[in-house]
Structure 1
Amino acid sequence: MIDKRALRSEMRARRMGLAKDGLQAASRAADHAHHLPQVACVAVYHPIGSELGTGPLVEALIARGMDLCLPVTLAQDAPMIFRRWTPGDPLEDDLAGVPAPFPLAGAVVPDLILAPLLAFDGQGLRLGQGGGHYDRTFAALPDAIRIGLAYAGQQVEALPFEPHDIALHGVLTESGYTAFA
């Protein structure tokens, strides 16, 4: 069985190396935004560390007329909620220490959730940071379209699957969009 802790460490190092071309990769990923389904509200994320940036994609989604929101962690073992967000809105750190909209922004339920990741495979499995925030949120919002946002170099041959893991519907990288069955 694959040791997820060791795999996370390896994939963090790989993603750090891929991030040297981060701005170009984020712009190229945004060039493929037209492959994403047209929905009313998209959950994006505030990139942390070497996660693929969302700035160019945010601009592309706004140009397509989509509303945006950001995830908010209110409790460690609960699904995240989402609050409306427009670039430039003030943010405050949530319980996980990630910048998030203030409560006055209003809670929404996104139609599509863009999720950061450490690795993904051809079956749509996603390796996250290990906190379970996105898996709990995916379970709580089963009708939301789940799309990973990553560098193409984060793809691996296969990832271990556990009962709480919820597969992605697709992944968007600088190389294009891939839908999973």
Structure 2
Amino acid sequence: MTDPASAKLDLRRALRVRRAALAKSAPDAAQRAADLAPIHALPAFACFAGYHALGSELNPSPLIRRLSALGGLFALPVCEGPDAPLIFRLWDDRDRPVPDAMGVPAPPPHAPRVHPDLVIVPLLGFDRRGGRLGQGGGHYDRTLAALRAVRPVFVLGLAYAGQEAPELDLEPHDQRLDAILTENGYIPVERP
């Protein structure tokens, strides 16, 4: 019998390889996804958050530019510690990024902290039920749970279409996506 933790680790390895191949085979996927984003289907937002793409993660920059043109404030996540939820700080193009606790470029400490209404998240795999498999550190699960405890937050997974899995085995702490955007289109998640 396969150990569930070991199976998840194996799945993450396989999905990393798949995502890297997708990144090489679809260099225009980020722009195509941004072009297909149905702005009318997204909830109204005063502030939205993206992420700094690492490795083969789908680059959110084209989508961020499109959403910024609507007038919303833009924030980036900041990791303050390995087991802490991420916080979000406003990004100003005039600022120089500062590595956070995980070494990811982030807004400097003087940037105002915000609570985004819309959060764009990276992922390794997703399913059509809103399941998301991340890197395994639990940062986004802790973060989204903390944000959702205060008020509703719309969570948009950004991925290559080929990252879709038939059905992910989710744990109680796993936070679901509200929708997924890929280079092939927008996938709304229907809640049971």
Do these two structures clear the TM 0.5 threshold for a shared fold by scoring above it? yes
The aligned residue for residue 9 of structure 1 is: 13
Aligned pair 1:28/2:37, yes or no?
A: no
Larger Rg: 2
State which of 55, 59, 65 in structure 1 corresponds to 2:65. Answer: 59
Contact 1:22 1:53 in 2 (8 A): no
The aligned residue for residue 115 of structure 1 is: 121
| TM-score, normalisation: structure 1 | 0.95
| Equivalent-residue separation in structure 1 for 2:94 and 2:19 (angstroms) | 27
The Cα RMSD (Å) is 1.3
| Equivalent-residue separation in structure 1 for 2:34 and 2:93 (angstroms) | 16
The aligned residue for residue 74 of structure 2 is: 68
| Equivalent-residue separation in structure 1 for 2:42 and 2:121 (angstroms) | 13
The aligned residue for residue 159 of structure 1 is: 168
Contact 1:69 1:108 in 2 (8 A): yes
State which of 86, 90, 100 in structure 1 corresponds to 2:96. Answer: 90
| Residue identity in the other structure for 1:11 | L
* Residues 88, 116 of structure 1: alpha-carbon distance in 2 compared, 3 angstrom cutoff: farther
| Residue identity in the other structure for 1:9 | R
| Equivalent-residue separation in structure 2 for 1:16 and 1:95 (angstroms) | 25
| Equivalent-residue separation in structure 1 for 2:27 and 2:92 (angstroms) | 20
The aligned residue for residue 180 of structure 1 is: 189
| Equivalent-residue separation in structure 2 for 1:88 and 1:37 (angstroms) | 29
Matched positions, count? 181
| TM-score, normalisation: structure 2 | 0.90
| Equivalent-residue separation in structure 1 for 2:179 and 2:76 (angstroms) | 19
The aligned residue for residue 50 of structure 1 is: 56
* Residues 88, 53 of structure 1: alpha-carbon distance in 2 compared, 3 angstrom cutoff: farther
The sequence identity of aligned pairs, in percent, is 52
Gaps of at least 5 residues in structure 2 are none
1:20-69 CA distances to partner (integer Å, 9 max, x unpaired)? 14541000111123243331111100000000001111110111111110
